[in-house]
Structure formats: structure tokens, C-alpha cells
């Protein structure tokens, strides 16, 4: 069933990307280009929701696996940013991407699952941030340590933070009910962080907004992951 759903979704995203590039080359009107961008972003959003549903199913049946290899972090970061910028732009939320620390750096991980973590965190942050405000993404990389952090300018985390990472949990403070999704994003973040031997934390900032952080240390990476792909 997943194949039957994801194949047309992938076609939708691919065709909309091709149309956007063609429109730019031919100088199509701005309103037309904006509609094409909305189609592309909508397709990516549906693809994200489908991926999250499949990830939840795999995690609950014990079939989720990670495939580790060396990843060039600066190139990986650019690819993820290209996915997220249109989503933030549609909501008129400024996406501040601080990845200077990743230049020339590598990390042994599963790049797809790492991307799922960041995409879901940023998508969640954009969803709860009012138009005209911003979401900031920061990275840290040093020997034996890697971290990513997403900070928003929304209403902050609920008092009961224990429910944040459960499947189908939703905060009542979303900016727009129709765009809240199905509440799987943070569950996928927690599941993938565990698979990649990372640790995810969340807290409210004193100045307002929420901050989510995922960290990996040498001890958490583990000897098995460092010794070979699996």
C-alpha cells in the first residue's frame, strides 16, 4: 500500500519541481510561480506525513533500521535547507540557517533518518511560529560531538512536556488548526534519535518560544556503529 501512495506523491513533487525550474527560465508571472511553489510545498508536506506514518508503523513493529556511513555535513545541510525554505516561506516565517560549523565536517550516521529528524523539528517550529517571526537552526560539530538545535518564536511548550513525543499528540496553541498535521512529527524525531544513538531534549526559552536539541557524543555513537556499516 505504501508503494501505491508514495509513487504518485513522488511524481507530484518531481513534476512540480520541474515546472518551477521551467517557469523561472521562461519568466512566468509571479502569481503563477507562487501557485507552482504551493503545489510543490504541498506535495512535500504530504510526502512528509506519509513518511511519518510509515516510520511510526515500522517503529511499533520493531522493523525500523538505521544504515550508518560517513556523511559530509555541509552538503547534507544544504539539501535539507532546500526542502524547508519553501515551507517556511509559505507561512511567511523567516528561516535562519546557521550551519557555518559544518564546513568540511563529516559525521557517521544515517543521512535519511538524520534529515527526518531535522525536517520534522523545523516543520513543527514553523507550524507554531506566527507569520513575520522566525525559526533558527543551529549546528555544533567538534571531535566526538555533534548537535543540531531548532528554536522558534512561538507560544512555547505546554506545561506537561511528557506528552510531546507521543504519537498523535497535539498542542492546543497551534497558529492554524488546519495546518497542525496529525501529530506524528515529534514521535518520529524521538524514534529516529534513538535509532541513531542520539539524545533529544526540549525546553522553553526565557525570551519566549521553544527550543529542541538533539545531541550525539562519542559514548552515544557506540563502538558497533563506528566499526562498520549496518
pLDDT in tens, 170-185: 444 433 333 444 356 7
How high is the pLDDT of residue 5?
59
pLDDT at 194 over 80: yes
Burial class, 226, CB count within 10 angstroms (exposed 0-12 / middle 13-18 / buried 19+): exposed
CATH code of the domain occupying 69-227 = 3.30.565.10
CB 210, CB 191: distance < 8 Å: no
What is the H or E stretch that residue 147 is in? strand 145-151
Rounded Cα distance between 102 and 138, Å, is 10
How high is the pLDDT of residue 228?
42
pLDDT in tens, 98-149: 999 999 998 889 898 899 899 989 999 998 999 999 999 999 988 889 999 9
Inter-CA distances, 124 with 10, 28, 63, 127, 146, Å: 22, 32, 25, 5, 21
188 versus 40: the higher-pLDDT residue is: 188
C-alpha triplet 23, 26, 28: angle, nearest 5°: 55
Residue 37 CB neighbours (<10 A): 18
How high is the pLDDT of residue 146?
93
- Give 160's pLDDT tier (boundaries 50, 70, 90): low
How high is the pLDDT of residue 201?
93
pLDDT in tens, 36-91: 777 776 776 666 666 656 666 665 667 667 889 899 999 999 989 988 888 898 88
Q: What b/e sequence results for 169-197 when a residue is b if at least 16 CB atoms lie within 10 Å of its CB, and e otherwise?
A: bebeebbeeeeebebbbbbbbbbbbebbb
Neighbouring residues of 88: CB distance < 8 A, sequence distance ≥ 6: 94, 95, 122, 126, 135
- Mean pLDDT score across all residues of the chain: 78
What is the H or E stretch that residue 148 is in? strand 145-151
pLDDT in tens, 9-30: 677 777 877 888 888 888 888 8
How high is the pLDDT of residue 175?
39
Name the residue ranges covered by the structural domains of the chain. Answer: 2-60, 69-227
How high is the pLDDT of residue 56?
60
How high is the pLDDT of residue 184?
65
202 versus 171: the higher-pLDDT residue is: 202
Amino acid at each position: 500500500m505504501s508503494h501505491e501512495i508514495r509513487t504518485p506523491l513522488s511524481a507530484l513533487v518531481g513534476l512540480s519541481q520541474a515546472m518551477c525550474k521551467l517557469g523561472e527560465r521562461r519568466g512566468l508571472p509571479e502569481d503563477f510561480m507562487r501557485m507552482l511553489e504551493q503545489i510543490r510545498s504541498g506535495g512535500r508536506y504530504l510526502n512528509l506525513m506519509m513518511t511519518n506514518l510509515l516510520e511510526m508503523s515500522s517503529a511499533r513493529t520493531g522493523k525500523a533500521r538505521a544504515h550508518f556511513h560517513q556523511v559530509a555535513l555541509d552538503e547534507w545541510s544544504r539539501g535539507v535547507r532546500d526542502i524547508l525554505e519553501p515551507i517556511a516561506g509559505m507561512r511567511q516565517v523567516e528561516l535562519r540557517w546557521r550551519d557555518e560549523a559544518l564546513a568540511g565536517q563529516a559525521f557517521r550516521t544515517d543521512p535519511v533518518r538524520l534529515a527526518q529528524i531535522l525536517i520534522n523539528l523545523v516543520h513543527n517550529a514553523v507550524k507554531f511560529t506566527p507569520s513575520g517571526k522566525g525559526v533558527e537552526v543551529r549546528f555544533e560539530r567538534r571531535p566526538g560531538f555533534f548537535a543540531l538545535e531548532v528554536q522558534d518564536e512561538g507560544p512555547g511548550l505546554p506545561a506537561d512536556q511528557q506528552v510531546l513525543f507521543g504519537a498523535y499528540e497535539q498542542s492546543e496553541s497551534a497558529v492554524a488548526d488546519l495546518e497542525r498535521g496529525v501529530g506524528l512529527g515529534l514521535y518520529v524525531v524521538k524514534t529516529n534519535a534513538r535509532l541513531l544513538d542520539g539524545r533529544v531534549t526540549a525546553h522553553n526559552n526565557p525570551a519566549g518560544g521553544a527550543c529542541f536539541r538533539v545531541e550525539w557524543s562519542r559514548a552515544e555513537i557506540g563502538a558497533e556503529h563506528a566499526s562498520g556499516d549496518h
